[in-house]
Amino acid sequence: MFDKVITVNARPNLALVKYWGKRRQGEDCQDPALNLPQNSSFSITLDAGNELLTKTSVVFSEKFEEDMFYLNGKKQDMNDPELQERFLALEKLRKLARTKTKALVVSNNSFPTASGLASSASGLSAMIFAASKALGLEISMEKLSEITRIGSGSACRSLFGGFVVWDRGEKPDGSDSVARQIFDENYWSDLRIVICLTTQEKKKVSSRSGMKQTVATSNLYKVRPAIAEENVRSIESAAKKKDFETFGKIIMTDAMNMHATMMDTRPPIIYINDISKEIIYAVEELNEEEGRIVGAYTFDAGPNACIICLEKDVNKIIRKLESVEGIRNVMKAKVGKGPELLSDDQNSLIDMKELVPVS
Ligand code: 2P0
């Protein structure tokens, strides 16, 4: 049964209104492992050519005694508690397929893992998308997004291309906490993202544990979900009108609002660094000089900056950033597609005959 190798490419997404905090067990959450967010979020899926891509091959086979996972060529320890939590999503798929057959998952990221660029989002969405095909499951993207969310919250947004809203939902079982595309990748064709890498170091506090600490200890966080919810509504309406001025202002204020709650956490979580701060000042200065929003910066759980702008202003922003010392690399991205199924001959990461990772 099975033994069919499926390979997909998936892309990271960039939240422009952020998810930072899960619901705790209670009336609106029956199990914290469901990864139910405190607020809705809004993202764009990123396309930086081959630079920000997760390629993943999955096969289920009776030959396997255990699940195996290789990330960037390295076999991962399946006893790792965080990995086990993430694989709950795969377990859920297996349940739907009424099977106990184990899987081999081989995944390669073309960007630095755990550096604040969302590799877990593209990774989990690639794995779950590929696994659903390998199991021959015919389920809606909405259902797939519900399952992917269990592996990683932000990953449920990477199942779609373009502009995506992940609705908070109200149900304690999480069946209405799913992502949906609101516009496809061609909708706002001159939107660009300038990504500035300021470090390649692994972050000190993982998003998963960081957001838990924030929800538990930050007083400021008490007002965050309502602010974020309002920001999702406003940015959706700005996107609908392609009103970049409003769009950009919401992006910057939402990112800073989330980072304020991180800093208000006990002990404080400070993801941005001195270079990030210089980038903020440089973009603010450029916007001031031009008398309009030229660029809008945002930061995730790390110090790398993403600056959203229109195509006509990309060079202006890059020139301005030349005054900032310490930026290691600048990449340009567009709004991209959701996961793509690759045909067998498009270099699978699993040897089709031996069912082992290709060396
Ligand atoms: C986001 N981040 O909305 C926010 C902005 C980081 C800052 O989603 O525990 O890796 O797997 O649900 O999705 C990072 O959190 O956390 C994240 P889990 P995830 O993109």
Which tens digit of pLDDT belongs to each residue from 169-226? 999 999 999 999 999 999 999 999 999 998 877 788 999 999 999 999 999 999 999 9
Query: pLDDT tier at 7 (50, 70, 90 boundaries)?
Result: very high
On whether the CB atoms of residues 130 and 151 are closer than 8 A, the answer is no
| Within a domain: 357 | no
Structural domain that includes position 315: 6-347
Span 236-290, pLDDT tens digits: 999 999 999 999 999 999 999 999 999 999 999 999 999 999 999 999 999 999 9
Q: Can you say how many angstroms the Cα of residue 80 is from the centroid of all Cα atoms in its chain? A: 21
Say if residue 41's pLDDT is above 60: yes
**pLDDT tens digits, one per residue of 59-99:** 999 999 999 999 999 999 999 999 999 999 999 999 999 99
Confirm whether 353 is domain-assigned: no
Give the total number of structural domains in the chain.
Answer: 1
Ligand 1 mean position to 153 CA, how many Å?
6
| Residue 118, pLDDT score | 59
Which of 19, 148, 178 has the most ligand 1 atoms within 8 A of CB, as the residue to mutate?
19
Is the pLDDT score of 359 beyond 70?
A: yes
State residue 236's pLDDT score.
98
**pLDDT-above-70 percentage for the chain:** 97
Residue located nearest, by CA, to atom 20 of ligand 1 = 15
Q: 113: which 2 tokens? A: 């893992």
Residue 356 located in a structural domain: no
pTM (2 d.p.): 0.96
154 lines ligand 1 (CB under 6 A): yes
Query: What's the one-letter identity of residue 310?
Result: L
Contact 5, 58 (CB under 8 A): yes
Q: Mean per-residue pLDDT for 144-156?
A: 97
Asked if pLDDT for residue 136 goes beyond 90, the answer is yes
263 domain-assigned: yes
Residue 28's nearest CA partner among 38, 20, 19 is: 38
The C-alpha torsion from 134 through 135 and 139 to 141, rounded to 10°, is: -30
Task: Examine the pLDDT at 116 and tell me if it is beyond 70.
Answer: no
pLDDT of residue 114: 45
Q: Is residue 352 part of a domain?
A: no
> Looking at the domain assignment, is residue 359 inside a domain?
no
Distance (Å) from CA 152 to ligand 1 centroid = 7
Residue of 18, 124, 154 best suited for mutating to test ligand 1, as the one with most atoms within 8 Å of CB: 154
Answer whether residue 345 shows pLDDT above 90. Answer: no
CATH (domain of 116): 3.30.230.10
- Ligand 1 atom with the smallest distance to the CA of 151 is 11
Would residue 182 count as lying in a domain?
Answer: yes
Our mutation pick for probing the ligand 1 site, out of 120, 149, 254, 276, counting the most ligand atoms within 8 A of Cβ, is: 120
pLDDT one-digit tens code per residue, 286-340 = 999 999 999 999 999 999 999 999 999 999 999 999 999 999 889 999 999 999 9
By C-alpha distance, which of 297, 294, 292 is closest to 327?
297
User: If DSSP states are collapsed to H, E and C, what string results for the chain?
Assistant: CCCCCEEEEECCEEEEECCCCECCCECCECCHHHCCECCCEEEEEEECCCCCCEEEEEEEECCCCCCEEEECCEECCCCCHHHHHHCHHHHHHHHHCCCCCEEEEEEEECCCCCCCCCHHHHHHHHHHHHHHHHCCCCCCHHHHHHHHHHHCHHHHHHHCCCEEEECCCCCCCCCCCCEEEEECCCCCCCEEEEEEECCCCCCCCCHHHHHHHHHHHCCHHHHHHHHHHHHHHHHHHHHHHCCHHHHHHHHHHHHHHHHHHHHCCCCCCCCCCHHHHHHHHHHHHHHHHHCCCCEEEEECCCCCEEEEEEHHHHHHHHHHHCCCCCCCEEEEEEECCCCEEECCCCCCCECCCCCCECC
CA distance 273 to 251: 19
